[in-house]
Structure 1
Amino acid sequence: MTDTRSAAGDLLAADTGMDAVSLRVGDLAVMSSYYREALGLEVVGEDAGSVVLGRGLTPLVALEHAPGLPVAARSQAGLFHTALLFDTPAALAATVYRAARDQRSAFVGSADHLVSEAFYFTDPEGNGIELYVDRDRSEWSYRNGSVEMATLALDATDYLLRNLPANGESELHDAATVGHVHLQVGDISLASAFYVDALGFETTLEVPGALFVSAGGYHHHMAMNVWNSRGAGPRAASLGLAEVAITVPERADLDAVSERLRHRFIPVQDDGSSLRVDDPWGTRVTLSVGGTSL
């Protein structure tokens, strides 16, 4: 979607990306085991009460032990899903095959979104997970300045038959990144004011009840919906999403975001290498240079 703010420098840099998603978990051992065994992630960092998992040197999920916190209500603002992006259909199929065979996974469904092909699960504590692969950008279509996305049928069995490597898991540990993060919010207009106007994402698509935003023309780095959470207020302390992390290329990009936030009287913490700010529902968002937030 064309955005006139680009000339004024009010947009996030084109090579902005998503960093590891932080989750508060009730059972650190079970959750760490699940992400390792069902999704083929590896421990890339570990401390007392926390584990960071990823592929290779790329962190994807950070688990924070938070015993005693309640499970988040379905109607509460917070995480809808963390979306892990794979480079090839074979790598995606290998991970989907592994996840589907793990009895702790709940398979939610699959879809052809025109720009991507995706499979959905929930982890043992109810956090949403999307596993997906993008179609080449040359295949994306646009209408009235918005990228065209849809939710079309995608036969999971057929997809695996066509794309699964011969031995089933030869590409299980291939690279992956956090492609996007999808949130539940209480109001789309408030979400737009924060994530678009203040942080500097561009709107790529808006449909009833949902907003998709990105940097650099991607179909979406973040999305927000009110499908379960319309009217939700500030989040209660609970298990689930702890932090969304965004990376930018240079310190100057952080300065520009900080200026936009302060101009709108939105409190922001700046420790010199990263910014920390809460969205209107109390979801912590961290922006850092080159993934230095973890």
Structure 2
Amino acid sequence: MEPYKIPAQTRIGHVHLKVADLDRSLGFYRDLLGFEVTMMYGSQAVFISAGGYHHHIGLNTWQSKGAGPADPRSVGLYHTAIVYPSRKDLALIFNRLYTSNYPLTGASDHGVSEAIYLNDPDGNGVELYWDRPIELWPKQSDGSLDMYTKALDIEDLLREINE
């Protein structure tokens, strides 16, 4: 598989995840999704980013080394949302996941955005998406948002790769 570097315009908030195995998590976040390591914090934590920022995601095993995934029915993080700068970038990462046979948990069109859902190796939810331009967001008659959840048209999304 060819190297992949996540686009520098990708924006997410800072999130710090407890993981069971740092190398396994790096295989997902660095090697598959394309984040870059900015700093190793000993052998128990790593900070990763897109575009050279100090870190968008921290991964640590301070209290979780070797632990199993959190119970999905308990409180905690639902998912980390990673915003891609364009629909083509979303198509490229979808294609990368597909060709890697990485399992997805969903793919949706929300009107304001298109999203792909999956879990990282520790069972943490991850949403990969792009926002449509604000002028295309669906609105109700009073001007408020009219978001929805429909199946994502994957074939149409993949056409972005060749355009």
Q: TM-score scaled by structure 1? A: 0.47
Match of 1:123 in 2: 120
Counterpart residue identity of residue 106, structure 1: P
Contact 2:12 2:81 in 1 (8 A): no
1:263 maps to none
Whether 1:36 aligns to 2:34 is no
Equivalent in 136, 149, 152 of residue 139 of structure 1: 136
The residue correspondences of 1:220-259 to structure 2 (distance < 5 A) are none
Query: Is contact 1:94–1:165 with CA below 8 Å preserved after alignment?
Result: no
Check conservation: 1:113, 1:150, Cα contact below 8 A: yes
Find the partner of 2:111 among 103, 114, 117: 114
Within the alignment, does 1:61 sit opposite 2:23 as a pair? no
Cα distance in 1, alignment partners of residues 162 and 122 from structure 2 = 30
For CA contacts below 8 A with separation 6 or more, give which structure has more relative contact order. 1
Give the aligned residue type for 1:50: A
Q: Secondary structure at the match of 1:159?
A: helix
Task: Please state which structure has a larger fraction of its residues in strand.
Answer: 1
- Which amino acid in the other structure matches residue 105 of structure 2? V
**Conserved? CA contact 1:40–1:95, under 8 Å:** no
Match of 1:96 in 2: 94
Larger Rg: 1
Which SS does the other structure have where 2:105 is aligned?
strand
1:45 Cα offset (Å): 2.0
The aligned counterpart of 1:238 is: none
Give unmatched runs, 5+ long, in structure 2. Answer: 1-10
1:31, CA displacement in angstroms?
0.6
Normalised by the size of structure 2, how large is the TM-score? 0.81
Deviation at 1:69, TM superposition (A): 3.6
Note the alpha carbon deviations across 1:157-216, whole angstroms, 9 max, x for none.
Answer: 3311x11258xxxxxxxxxxxxxxxxxxxxxxxxxxxxxxxxxxxxxxxxxxxxxxxxxx
Residues 38-73 of structure 1 deviation map (CA, whole Å, 9 limit, x = unaligned): 111111222111111121123332101121444211
1:113 and 1:151 in contact (8 A); partners too: yes
What does residue 285 of structure 1 align with? none
Aligned pairs for 1:265-280 (under 5 A) are none
SS in 2 for 1:32: helix
Q: How does 1:132-211 map to 2 (within 5 A)?
A: 132-143=129-140, 144=142, 146-160=144-158, 162-165=159-162
State how far apart, in whole Å, the 1-side matches of 2:37 and 2:60 are: 13
Contact 1:115–1:134 (CA under 8 A) maintained in structure 2 = yes
Which whole-Å CA distance do the structure 1 matches of 2:82 and 2:162 have between them? 19
1:122 positional shift: 1.0
- The Cα of 1:131 is off from its aligned counterpart by 0.8
The residue type paired with residue 108 of structure 2 is: A
Over the aligned positions, Cα root-mean-square deviation in angstroms equals: 2.0
Q: Percent identity?
A: 36
> 2: distance between equivalents of 1:126 and 1:43?
21
* 2:45 aligned residue: 50
